[in-house]
């Protein structure tokens, strides 16, 4: 049965990227800053997980931020505590989604196990083809039930497990030969994934961000150094200015409109060790509007795009107001 047609809302945010062509000295400073902030952010995340699910006022964010300010700055501390809260809430949502997925799988297997092999029940549930497949699914059911019990325990304690850097990358450490990686190559990826170089935007701050500032005219990038690393500053007020510049070719006009109006722009500095490259990402919230309904679109005479969802490709063609393919349609196909 086909679902009723609907319109998809526009993206709620924008993210653009440009490459940072760093000199050796700049890269060394960024690594020192990222490792320093990353270490303290992970400690704050562990503390946030230990607090569990509480009301916002009971998460002790002000207390945690004050402690982090002493080893970084007020703005870095704000970004770290906000990242910890986001990671905690995301981890809890993932646990709820995993529980729902496990319950669906257990229900499906249980219904089919209740039907003899090769038969169908009155409700339409089909039994497994033979006894061998049935035995395999019984073992699978026991495994899923064990996983569900572990997930339920984590949800009950409101303490999810979070691996900063990614659990998949952490497990890869024990399978380096299969991944065709050396320990040094894995270590570079692991350390790069655990850097913290994220600065939230601030409306009213110069060019929308004080912590990581990008000059719209010259394209220069400067960052506020944490308090223990202020001796590395090469610019006023404890800042470090990179020797490279950025341009942001994609959506440059939108970015310029924001930074020249001093509207909030978030910046993330990331490292790709596999390609030996550094990047600067800029992101901001987009103005949200209520999308028109399909009936409103057809009433305006707007041309619609019909998409056929196939196993290995998408087929699309233009439709007229009666949902009929336009004259001489030439469907596109994406594999």
Task: Return d(Cα 174, Cα 170) in angstroms, integer.
Answer: 8
Alpha helices in 21-130 (DSSP H): 24-51, 61-69, 74-113
Phi, psi of 168 (to 5 degrees): -65, -45
- State the number of CA atoms in the 13 A half-sphere of 209 facing the CB: 29
Task: Return d(Cα 295, Cα 4) in angstroms, integer.
Answer: 11
Contact 130, 62 (CB under 8 A): no
User: Which of helix, strand or coil describes residue 54?
Assistant: coil
191: nearest Cα among 25, 78, 39, 72: 39
Task: Return d(Cα 293, Cα 297) in angstroms, integer.
Answer: 6
Residue-wise DSSP of 258-307? HHHTT---EEEEEEETTTTEEEEEEEEEPPP-PPPPHHHHHHTT--EEEE
3-state secondary structure 101-130: HHHHHHHHHHHHHCCCCCCECCCCCECCCC
Structure tokens at 134: 């049935």
Task: Scan for tokens 């690393």, then name that residue.
Answer: 229
> Which pairing describes strands 212-214 and 277-285: parallel, antiparallel, or unpaired?
unpaired
Task: Return d(Cα 37, Cα 196) in angstroms, integer.
Answer: 6
CA 90 to chain centroid, in Å, comes to: 9
Contact 162, 233 (CB under 8 A): no
Structure tokens at 148: 């569900």
- Rg of the Cα trace of the chain? 26
- In this prediction the pTM is 0.83
Give the per-residue pLDDT at 216.
94
Domain ranges of the chain: 294-334
Contact 219, 246 (CB under 8 A): yes
Task: Return d(Cα 253, Cα 91) in angstroms, integer.
Answer: 36
Structure tokens at 283: 């992101």
Per-residue pLDDT of the chain (335 residues; tens, 9 = 90+): 567 777 877 888 999 999 999 999 999 999 999 999 999 999 999 999 999 999 888 899 999 999 999 999 999 999 999 999 999 999 999 999 999 999 999 999 999 999 999 898 888 889 999 999 999 999 999 999 999 999 999 999 999 999 999 999 999 999 999 999 999 999 999 999 999 999 999 999 999 999 999 999 999 999 999 999 999 999 999 999 999 999 999 999 999 999 999 999 999 999 999 999 999 999 999 877 788 887 887 787 777 666 777 767 777 777 666 667 765 555 455 54
Contact 263, 202 (CB under 8 A): no
Contact 95, 102 (CB under 8 A): no
């Amino acid at each position: 049965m086909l679902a009723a047609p609907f319109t998809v809302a526009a993206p709620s945010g924008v993210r653009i990227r440009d490459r940072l062509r760093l000199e050796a000295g700049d890269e060394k400073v960024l690594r020192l800053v990222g490792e320093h902030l990353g270490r303290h952010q992970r400690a704050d995340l562990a503390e946030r997980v230990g607090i569990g699910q509480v009301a916002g006022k009971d998460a002790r964010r002000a207390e945690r931020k004050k402690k982090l300010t002493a080893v970084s700055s007020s703005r870095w501390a704000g970004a770290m505590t906000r990242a910890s809260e986001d990671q905690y809430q995301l981890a809890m949502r993932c646990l709820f989604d995993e529980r729902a997925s496990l319950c669906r799988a257990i229900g499906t297997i249980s219904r089919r196990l209740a039907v003899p092999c090769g038969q169908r029940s009155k409700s339409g549930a089909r039994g497994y083809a033979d006894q061998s497949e049935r035995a395999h699914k019984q073992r699978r059911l026991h495994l899923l039930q064990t996983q569900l019990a572990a997930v339920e325990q984590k949800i009950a304690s409101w303490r999810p497990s979070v691996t900063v850097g990614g659990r998949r990358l952490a497990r890869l450490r024990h399978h380096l030969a299969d991944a065709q990686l050396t320990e040094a190559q894995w270590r570079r990826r692991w350390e790069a994934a655990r850097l913290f170089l994220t600065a939230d935007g601030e409306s009213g701050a110069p060019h929308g961000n004080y912590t990581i500032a990008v000059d719209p005219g010259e394209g220069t990038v400067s960052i506020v150094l944490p308090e223990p690393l202020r001796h590395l500053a090469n610019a006023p007020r404890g800042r470090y200015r990179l020797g490279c510049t950025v341009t942001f070719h994609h959506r440059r006009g939108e970015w310029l409109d924001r930074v020249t109006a001093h509207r909030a722009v978030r910046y993330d500095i990331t490292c790709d060790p596999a390609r030996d490259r550094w990047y600067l990402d800029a992101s901001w919230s987009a103005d949200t509007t209520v999308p028109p309904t399909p009936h409103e679109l057809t009433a305006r005479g707007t041309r619609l795009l019909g998409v056929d969802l196939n196993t290995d490709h998408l087929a699309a063609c233009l439709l007229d107001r009666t949902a009929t393919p336009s004259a001489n349609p030439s469907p596109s196909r994406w594999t």
